[in-house]
């Protein structure tokens, strides 16, 4: 299929997310107003923000933004960072610069579709599935078996969208060792990092630990600020970062200055912002698991280790896709059937639902869904 093919998940979301009463599918936690951000970060930030002149910021990001991002890493310096218009622009730019005809990439499935579709538009790609019957575990030997002499990049995403799965520290080290021995890059989508329910599960960032590690992050998930549209790439390889900079010259060129300023403020005051998100996520995951447990004949959940998404097996006779359609049409509650995660590379089970539990109206959405479920003929 010619690139760009339909981004199934984004199509589904764009068609419904802003039209339904209860979007019980969002991949991000409840956001906050600029007022609340100033209240959390300190009122002293308000006047400089309001008085800023709306010039173009520098291509890589303002020095203040790059310095704030650098404080979230151990080894990465401001010179090792380029900001983008969200994580999405960064994904596109990175694979355009990294992959060419004749190269090969290895990608985990299921996945956030651009992590597979953009590499596929450039070269041959092999998918390695997470194990649906074992809490979506990764078998690192499957990754090793997929590597070829021409493999240029391994693409990983832990914490994982949509399952909330993680790999162990030992597995991450194994992946780095096998890639380092072959000169393979690792593109690591870390947008859900800092949302782990057990902080001991938190993995180091690839850009800190591997000279060919490319770390991707954004304000959308752990910080709950998707509307800022500020993402970034961190990597120690200065020559490759200069290539990546060239790619951005043809895309957004630079970000919106208000987004960069508010991101700088948020990152410099991140402790209360992260805590606010995690407090709600913990509480709401309990609400969701309690709700799903009322319908053991319909739902099976393997608990997410991070994030605000639950990937729930639906065992009703009509199937997950028909269930999701009826639920949204009849009750105004939107969940996403796993066909939206179909892959060109491997089979992806079609009997799952993506349920987002991060939004403030979760309880109301579950009440609505429960009333609808309870009146259905059994």
Ligand X SMILES: Cc1ncc(COP(=O)(O)O)c(C=O)c1O
Contact footprint for ligand X (CB under 6 A): 27, 86-88, 112, 157, 161, 189, 191, 218, 220, 226, 231
Query: Which residues, other chains included, contact 135 with Cβ-Cβ below 8 Å and sequence gap of 6+?
Result: 165, 302
Q: Least Å distance between CB 161 and ligand X?
A: 4
Identify the helix (H) or strand (E) that includes residue 312: strand 309-314
Q: How many beta carbons lie within 10 A of that of residue 370, not counting itself?
A: 15
Query: What's the CA gap between 156 and 158, in Å, rounded?
Result: 6
Nearer to ligand X, 22 or 112 (CB): 112
Q: Least Å distance between CB 51 and ligand X?
A: 28
Nearer to ligand X, 87 or 138 (CB): 87
Q: Least Å distance between CB 112 and ligand X?
A: 4
Q: Least Å distance between CB 334 and ligand X?
A: 15
Nearer to ligand X, 161 or 264 (CB): 161
Q: Least Å distance between CB 266 and ligand X?
A: 14
Contact predicate 289/197, CB 8 Å: no
* Burial class of residue 252 in the structure, from the number of CB atoms within 10 Å of its CB (0-12 exposed, 13-18 middle, 19+ buried): middle
Nearest-CB residue to ligand X?
Answer: 86
Nearer to ligand X, 27 or 263 (CB): 27
Nearer to ligand X, 97 or 108 (CB): 108
Q: Please state whether the peptide bond connecting residue 162 to the residue before it is cis, i.e. omega within 30 degrees of 0.
A: yes
Query: What's the CA gap between 372 and 238, in Å, rounded?
Result: 55
Q: Least Å distance between CB 200 and ligand X?
A: 22
Contact predicate 328/337, CB 8 Å: no
CA dihedral 316, 322, 325, 328 (to 10 degrees): -10
Nearer to ligand X, 112 or 136 (CB): 112
């Amino acid at each position: 299929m010619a690139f760009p093919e339909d981004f199934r998940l984004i199509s589904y979301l764009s068609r419904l997310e802003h039209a339904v009463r209860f979007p019980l599918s969002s991949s991000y936690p409840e956001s906050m107003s600029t007022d609340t951000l100033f209240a959390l970060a300190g009122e002293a930030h308000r006047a400089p923000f309001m008085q800023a002149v709306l010039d173009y910021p520098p291509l890589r990001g303002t020095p203040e933004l790059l310095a704030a991002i650098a404080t979230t890493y151990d080894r990465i310096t401001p010179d090792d960072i380029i900001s983008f218009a969200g994580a999405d622009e960064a994904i596109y730019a990175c694979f355009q610069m990294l992959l060419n005809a004749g190269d090969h990439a290895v990608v985990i499935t299921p996945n956030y579709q651009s992590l597979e579709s953009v590499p596929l538009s450039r070269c041959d790609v092999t998918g390695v599935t997470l194990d649906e019957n074992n809490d979506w575990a990764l078998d690192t030997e499957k990754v090793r078996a997929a590597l070829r002499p021409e493999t240029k990049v391994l693409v990983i995403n832990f914490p994982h969208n949509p399952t909330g799965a993680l790999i162990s520290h030992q597995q991450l080290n194994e992946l780095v060792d096998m890639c380092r021995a072959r000169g393979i890059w690792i593109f690591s989508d870390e947008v859900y990092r800092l949302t782990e329910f057990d902080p001991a599960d938190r993995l180091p960032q690839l850009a800190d630990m591997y000279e060919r590690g490319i770390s991707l992050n954004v304000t959308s998930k752990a910080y709950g600020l998707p509307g800022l549209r500020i993402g970034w790439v961190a990597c120690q390889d200065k020559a490759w970062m200069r290539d990546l900079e060239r790619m951005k010259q043809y895309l957004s060129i630079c970000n919106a200055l208000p987004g960069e300023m508010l991101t700088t403020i948020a990152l410099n005051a991140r402790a209360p912002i992260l805590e606010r998100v995690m407090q709600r996520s913990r509480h709401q995951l309990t609400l969701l698991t309690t709700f799903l447990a009322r319908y053991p004949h319909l739902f099976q959940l393997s608990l997410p280790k991070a994030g605000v998404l639950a990937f729930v097996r639906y065992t009703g006779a009509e199937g997950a896709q028909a269930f999701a359609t009826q639920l949204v049409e009849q009750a105004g509650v939107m969940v996403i059937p796993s066909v939206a995660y179909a892959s060109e590379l491997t089979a992806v089970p079609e009997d799952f639902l993506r349920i987002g539990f991060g939004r403030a109206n979760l309880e109301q959405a579950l009440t609505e869904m429960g009333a609808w479920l309870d009146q259905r003929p059994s």
